[in-house]
């Protein structure tokens, strides 16, 4: 009996052991094998180096540097250290004792104590030899040119991820490929360094080559920031692009005093929309010419400056009468533009704006691009259609407006803008390349050429609103814009808050650059022609020199030493642009006799004398108030003596005809010029 019971008991135990073995092998086997491996192996992630970002000439805009980040395993550290040990650790990390203790008391198994420390400082921490404290290598992003092209380059975060700009747009290429290394360690957790996988390295990120030219970018940022400060604008933006390729050579944003915001995280030129104001008139004229609604010579009555339409008063800054398209654009007539828009109709005008890319994203390779705000043409009321003709009631982004004017400059093709030219892997092989891409034809070449000619009068015409956009030795074409800002609380417009802008291209006869300048939230009286146009001129002059663009021909040089009877130190300062009308319009032809210099500026007088082959003797500064011999005499005389004065009151010969009286004439010009600048 006893043997039988023992046999059954042993058989039962063997059956239980066999069942348990089956469960361990068949059910819990994979889990237990994993636990066994984890006790002898560990995984380490090697972060890759973010690739550099350089400008079109190889100048670095973003680089990565190796740093050390310190972490702790709080339970182990607290168990194997004293308060004095932790005090030394806090001092090495630049923390107070309370700050270190607060981080260790979070109840987490892993905490960061410091990120991206310089290697020398990390070695001090390692030298403390505290159990539970470790360090890993990380790469910190830094920008050697500080905030140059900040909106384009963007920002990379603490963990190496792109947050904005091309850092975000091309994050997959720039970040590289991290590597997870699985290695063996002993019972104490020390790694066994002969693990075969430990020899692998992370794949560095790609090198991005931008279309940005650092020199032109720095120029744009400098003059834009100076004008924002001078004008009191809340912020401003400037764009420089190649009209034939769509390459962005500069994209600058500037914030006014007291305006908060990180320019690396927000890109005004791409992400914000504004009402374009009178810059719309250049596009309107192009659409009307392309649709044969108007010809260059067709006359439109501008209602002497005031026109009541659909219960609203549309006004110009001058009492304009009959004008053709060129005159409407030159003096920036709102009434003329409104009548052209009404003649086009909502459907055709809307289709034309869409052809120029307004209301659509341009496709620029930067994140967060806005589409602008243009309602469907079928919803436009007649008064809204009229308002759209001079840029009210629609909103465009700066990049949209610049690309639209580039289409006029290049002969009618809408080009996709881009900021990344190419990308190269760690071996130097090209993995990405952007080439000029035409989106569609916006207007016929003949229309683009005609509008090119008309836009030149805005800058060089006697009534042009952008005389301050002139660039020495080059012909400029462009358009000013001044628009009221929308009051979001009322849905109406602020009366004293404006957006001032100028967009143009240079040289007009062979465009190399399209430049847009926008100043947001400026006070009343800060018109596009007075504040945005000068920034265009400064940027254009420097950029043309940087690109080695030579003027079409050398301007005439005047040998003033042989013409002026006084010394060089007494000579008047040169004038950047004549404030009077051109000599040909000021002075009627006198056959072969002495021309009429009365009322002319010194610069105009010198130009006219040179054209007639005369020598001048000049006294004074300002405008001509007297001349000898009198106009009409035979030109065989040796020289003509001119008397100039800034204020002709009391000067002999100041009782001049109204046309030639310099004070009256100058005052009329200044008043007219100031009125023109409003548009």
Q: State residue 198's pLDDT score.
A: 47
> Model confidence at 671, in pLDDT bands (50, 70, 90)?
very low
Q: State residue 136's pLDDT score.
A: 74
Q: Which of 438, 446, 405, 402 lies closest to 290 in space, CA to CA?
A: 446
pLDDT per position as a tens digit, 99-150: 888 888 877 777 888 887 887 888 888 888 888 888 877 778 889 998 999 9
Other Cβ atoms within 10 Å of 73 Cβ, number? 17
Alpha-carbon span 415 to 406, nearest angstrom: 8
Which of 547, 573, 594 delimits the end of a domain?
547
- Mean model confidence pLDDT for the chain: 82
* Count of alpha carbons within 13 angstroms of residue 144, beta-carbon side: 13
H runs (alpha helix) in 525-660:
528-547, 583-586, 602-612
Alpha-carbon span 451 to 352, nearest angstrom: 15
Strand 640-645 and strand 300-301: the pairing is: unpaired
Question: Over 80: is that where the pLDDT of 411 sits?
Answer: yes
Alpha-carbon span 57 to 76, nearest angstrom: 52
Alpha-carbon span 484 to 495, nearest angstrom: 7
Q: State residue 337's pLDDT score.
A: 96
Question: Over 70: is that where the pLDDT of 318 sits?
Answer: yes
pLDDT per position as a tens digit, 60-99: 999 988 777 888 888 888 888 888 888 888 888 888 888 8
Order of strands, sheet of 493-506, starting from the edge strand that comes earlier in the sequence: 248-255, 235-241, 513-523, 493-506, 477-486
Q: State residue 287's pLDDT score.
A: 97
Query: Are 150 and 123 contained in the same domain?
Result: yes
> φ and ψ at 614, to 5 degrees?
-105, 155
Burial class from Cβ neighbours inside 10 Å (0-12, 13-18, 19+) for residue 352 reads buried
Mean pLDDT of 574-598: 45
Query: Are 393 and 541 contained in the same domain?
Result: yes
Which of 514, 547, 580 delimits the end of a domain?
547
| Tokens encoding 389 | 């003709």
Q: State residue 402's pLDDT score.
A: 98
Q: Which residue has the higher pLDDT, 245 or 666?
A: 245
Question: Over 70: is that where the pLDDT of 561 sits?
Answer: no
Q: Which residue has the higher pLDDT, 525 or 665?
A: 525
Query: Are 364 and 412 contained in the same domain?
Result: yes
- What value, to the nearest 5°, has the Cα angle with vertex 403 and ends 167 and 576? 105
Other Cβ atoms within 10 Å of 124 Cβ, number? 14
Q: State residue 636's pLDDT score.
A: 64
Question: Over 50: is that where the pLDDT of 537 sits?
Answer: yes
Q: State residue 637's pLDDT score.
A: 67
- Unique residue bearing structure tokens 């993995």: 431
Q: Do the beta carbons of residue 303 and residue 647 sit within 8 Å? A: no
Q: State residue 263's pLDDT score.
A: 77
- Domain-embedded: residue 184: no
> Model confidence at 560, in pLDDT bands (50, 70, 90)?
very low
Dmax (CA) of the chain: 158
Q: State residue 584's pLDDT score.
A: 31
- Domain-embedded: residue 196: no
Query: Are 156 and 301 contained in the same domain?
Result: no
> φ and ψ at 283, to 5 degrees?
-75, -40
- Domain-embedded: residue 239: yes
> Model confidence at 180, in pLDDT bands (50, 70, 90)?
low
Question: Over 60: is that where the pLDDT of 238 sits?
Answer: yes
- What value, to the nearest 5°, has the Cα angle with vertex 437 and ends 433 and 438? 175
Mean pLDDT of 245-263: 88
Q: Which residue has the higher pLDDT, 99 or 209?
A: 209
Alpha-carbon span 353 to 374, nearest angstrom: 9
Q: State residue 33's pLDDT score.
A: 75
Query: Are 526 and 622 contained in the same domain?
Result: no
- Domain-embedded: residue 592: yes
Query: Are 205 and 225 contained in the same domain?
Result: no
| Torsion of Cα atoms, 453 then 612 then 646 then 536, to 10° | 20
Mean pLDDT of 655-677: 40
Q: Which residue has the higher pLDDT, 554 or 433?
A: 433
pLDDT per position as a tens digit, 384-404: 999 999 999 999 999 999 999
Cβ neighbours of residue 550 under 8 Å, at least 6 residues apart? none
pLDDT per position as a tens digit, 491-510: 788 888 899 999 999 999 99
Query: Are 34 and 53 contained in the same domain?
Result: no
Question: Over 50: is that where the pLDDT of 190 sits?
Answer: yes
Question: Over 50: is that where the pLDDT of 578 sits?
Answer: no
Peptide bond into 21 cis (omega under 30): no
pLDDT per position as a tens digit, 294-306: 998 899 999 999 9
- Domain-embedded: residue 158: yes
Q: What is the per-residue DSSP string for 281-340?
A: HHHHHHHHHHTTS--TT--EE-GGGEEEETTEEEE-SS---EE-HHHHHHHT-HHHHHHH
Question: Over 60: is that where the pLDDT of 351 sits?
Answer: yes
Q: State residue 574's pLDDT score.
A: 34
> Model confidence at 326, in pLDDT bands (50, 70, 90)?
very high
Question: Over 70: is that where the pLDDT of 213 sits?
Answer: yes
Query: Are 482 and 567 contained in the same domain?
Result: no
- Domain-embedded: residue 185: no
Q: Which residue has the higher pLDDT, 45 or 656?
A: 45
Query: Are 608 and 529 contained in the same domain?
Result: no
* Helices (H) then strands (E): counts for the chain: 22, 25
Tell me 74's DSSP state: H
Quick one: what percent of the chain has pLDDT higher than 70? 81
Range of lowest pLDDT (42-56, 171-185, 250-264, 463-477): 171-185
Query: Are 60 and 21 contained in the same domain?
Result: no
Mean pLDDT of 592-603: 72
Full residue range of the structural domain in which residue 118 is found: 49-176+201-209
Burial class from Cβ neighbours inside 10 Å (0-12, 13-18, 19+) for residue 495 reads exposed
> Model confidence at 430, in pLDDT bands (50, 70, 90)?
very high
Q: State residue 677's pLDDT score.
A: 45
Which of 516, 547, 578 delimits the end of a domain?
547
Query: Are 166 and 243 contained in the same domain?
Result: no
User: Considering the entire predicted model, what is its pTM?
Assistant: 0.71
- Domain-embedded: residue 397: yes
Q: State residue 592's pLDDT score.
A: 55
- What value, to the nearest 5°, has the Cα angle with vertex 312 and ends 306 and 317? 30
Q: State residue 638's pLDDT score.
A: 62
Cβ neighbours of residue 226 under 8 Å, at least 6 residues apart? none
CATH number of domain containing 289: 3.40.710.10
Alpha-carbon span 505 to 513, nearest angstrom: 5
First-to-last CA distance in the chain?
A: 119
- Domain-embedded: residue 555: no
Other Cβ atoms within 10 Å of 515 Cβ, number? 28
Query: Are 11 and 113 contained in the same domain?
Result: no
Strand 616-619 and strand 60-72: the pairing is: unpaired
Give how many domains the chain has, as a whole number.
Answer: 4
Mean pLDDT of 301-314: 92
CATH number of domain containing 131: 3.90.1310.10
| Tokens encoding 589 | 């032809």
């Amino acid at each position: 009996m006893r043997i039988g019971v023992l046999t059954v008991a042993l058989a039962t135990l063997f059956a239980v052991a066999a069942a348990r073995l089956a469960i361990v092998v068949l059910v819990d086997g994979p889990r237990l094998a994993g636990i066994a491996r984890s006790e002898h192996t560990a995984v380490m992630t090697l972060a890759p180096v973010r690739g550099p970002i350089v400008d079109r000439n190889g100048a670095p805009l973003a680089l990565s540097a190796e740093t050390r980040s310190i972490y702790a395993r709080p339970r182990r550290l607290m168990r194997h250290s004293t308060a004095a040990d932790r005090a030394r650790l806090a001092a090495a990390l630049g923390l107070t004792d309370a700050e270190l203790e607060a981080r260790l008391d979070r109840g987490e198994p892993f905490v960061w104590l410091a990120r991206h420390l310089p290697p020398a400082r990390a070695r001090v921490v390692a030298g403390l030899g505290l159990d539970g404290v470790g360090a890993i290598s990380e790469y910190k992003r830094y920008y050697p040119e500080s905030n140059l092209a900040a909106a384009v380059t963007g920002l990379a975060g603490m963990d190496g991820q792109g947050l904005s700009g091309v850092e975000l747009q091309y994050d997959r290429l720039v970040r590289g490929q991290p590597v997870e290394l699985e290695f063996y360690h002993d019972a104490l957790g020390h790694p066994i360094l002969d693990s075969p996988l430990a020899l692998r390295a992370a794949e560095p990120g790609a090198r991005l080559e931008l279309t940005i030219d650092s020199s032109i970018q720095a120029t744009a940022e400098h003059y834009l920031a100076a004008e924002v400060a001078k004008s009191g604008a809340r912020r401003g933006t400037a764009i420089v692009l190649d009209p034939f390729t769509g390459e962005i050579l500069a994209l600058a944003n500037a914030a006014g005093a007291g305006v908060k915001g990180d320019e690396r995280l927000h890109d005004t030129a791409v992400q914000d929309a504004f009402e374009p104001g009178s810059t719309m008139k250049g596009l309107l004229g192009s659409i009307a010419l392309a649709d044969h609604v108007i010809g260059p010579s067709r006359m439109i009555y501008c209602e002497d400056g005031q026109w009541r339409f659909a219960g609203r008063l549309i006004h110009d800054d001058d009492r304009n009468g009959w004008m053709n398209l060129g005159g409407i654009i030159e003096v920036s007539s709102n009434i003329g533009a409104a009548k052209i828009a009404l003649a086009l109709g909502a459907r055709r005008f809307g289709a034309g704006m869409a052809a120029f890319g307004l209301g659509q994203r341009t496709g620029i390779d930067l994140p967060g691009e806005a589409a602008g705000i243009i309602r469907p043409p079928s919803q436009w009321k007649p008064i809204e259609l009229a308002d759209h003709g001079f840029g009210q009631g629609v909103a465009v982004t700066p990049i949209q407006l610049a690309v639209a004017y580039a289409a006029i400059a290049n002969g009618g093709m809408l080009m996709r803008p881009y900021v990344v030219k190419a990308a190269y892997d760690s071996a130097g092989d090209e993995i990405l390349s952007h080439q000029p891409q035409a989106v569609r034809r916006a207007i016929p070449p003949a229309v683009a050429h005609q509008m090119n000619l008309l836009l030149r009068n805005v800058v060089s015409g006697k009534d042009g609103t952008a005389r301050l956009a002139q660039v020495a030795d080059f012909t400029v074409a462009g358009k000013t814009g001044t628009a009221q800002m929308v009051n979001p609380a009322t849905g109406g417009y602020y009366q004293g808050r404006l957006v001032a802008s100028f967009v143009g291209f240079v040289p007009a006869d062979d465009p190399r650059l399209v430049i847009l300048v926008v100043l947001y939230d400026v006070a009343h009286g800060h018109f596009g022609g007075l504040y945005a146009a000068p920034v265009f001129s400064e940027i254009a002059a420097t950029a043309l020199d940087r690109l080695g663009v030579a003027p079409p021909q050398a301007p005439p040089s005047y040998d003033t030493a042989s013409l002026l009877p006084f010394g060089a130190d007494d000579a008047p300062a040169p004038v950047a642009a004549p404030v009077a009308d051109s000599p040909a319009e000021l002075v009627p032809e006198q056959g072969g006799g002495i021309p009429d210099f009365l009322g002319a500026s010194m610069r105009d007088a010198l130009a006219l004398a040179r054209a007639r082959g005369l020598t001048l003797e000049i006294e004074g500064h300002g405008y001509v108030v007297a001349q000898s011999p009198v106009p009409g005499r035979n030109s065989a005389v040796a020289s003509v003596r001119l008397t100039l004065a800034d204020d002709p009151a009391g000067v002999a010969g100041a009782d001049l005809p109204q046309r030639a009286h310099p004070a009256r004439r100058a005052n009329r010009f200044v008043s007219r010029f100031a009125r023109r600048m409003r548009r």
